[in-house]
Amino acid sequence: MVKVVACIIARTVSTRLPLKVLRDVGNGMSILDFLINRLKSVKEIDEIFICTSTEPVDDILEDVASRNSINIYRGSADQVIERMLKVGAITNADYLIRITGDNPFTSIEHISTQVEMIEKEELDYVRLVNVPVGATTEVIKYQALLRCNEMMDPDVSEYMMLYLFEPHNFKCGVIIPYVADYSHYSVTVDTQQDFVRTRRVVEVLKEKAPEEIMLEDILALYTNAEISIPFAEIKAVDEVKLPYNKKVSYTEFKKDMDRRISQSVQL
């Protein structure tokens, strides 16, 4: 049996929306609590770690881990990849799942298929594509993450997706869950507008427990003209951040993602 460990990458510092991962999504749960509850329902995940820094500002995440009965690893403030590699070594993981702590609506329903695909096809990396920004997890072979660490500057490893999801260097796989392309939507929380949108979604879906909210439910809201979900769409002129403070338009970024998709194993 392979071992699969989920790594929630989270810190409390954020210039655009301070303490965002600790903010109440509207049902008495923080973004992190909400996300953890969802991940606990995925049977393929053997262990869950909050991966944060040793900085005092992140001490409070110890409480989050404790009350949710999950693990925490505290390491480099800047090197995301260091935290994940250390967790992989501690747990003897075969595969690591990277989940960003500000993505409460991470698509839990496709994780089992991602894990199955990476193992069956002997891949290094698997993600969902053509889904809203912030919806996919990244399933990564531990040995591939070690290689990635040798290839990149660890200080920009918050952008490791750009290095791992590169079919020229790694065996990449993509899952395309829908005929339509929903990548012009977002479910991540970076700004106050994103937070307003997230609380609105939770409000509309209040009859569902966190682990019962599927990506299909959110897309049904986004595409329903009779329900108002603010700030759901990404504008083509919006900028996407890249390593070393570079930025590109969303249109340019999408073109590059389509290239990577076309060169990957597809399901």
Q: Which amino acid is located at 35 in the chain?
A: L
Does the global pTM surpass 0.85?
yes
Backbone dihedral angles phi then psi of residue 62, each to the nearest 5 degrees: -60, -40
Q: Which residue has the tokens 């590059």?
A: 256
The per-residue pLDDT for 166 is 98
- Taking 70 as the pLDDT cut, the residues of the chain under it are none
The per-residue pLDDT for 238 is 83
CA angle 135, 217, 198 (to 5 degrees): 60
Burial 7-36 (b: 16+ CB within 10 A, else e): bbbbbbeeeebeebbbbebeeebbbbbbbb
**What structural domains and CATH numbers belong to the chain?**
4-182+235-266 (3.90.550.10)
The per-residue pLDDT for 239 is 87
d(CA 137, CA 170): 17
Q: Residue 234 carries which DSSP code?
A: P
d(CA 227, CA 256): 32
The per-residue pLDDT for 14 is 87
Nearest to 85 by CA among 20, 156, 140: 140
Report the SS3 class of residue 48: strand
What does the block give as tokens for 225? 């003209």
The per-residue pLDDT for 151 is 94
8-43 pLDDT, tens per residue? 999 999 888 999 999 999 989 999 999 999 999 999
Q: Residue 223 carries which DSSP code?
A: T
Contact present, 210 and 221 (Cβ < 8 Å): no
Side-chain-side CA neighbours of 195 within 13 Å: the count stands at 17
The per-residue pLDDT for 236 is 76
Contact present, 45 and 6 (Cβ < 8 Å): yes
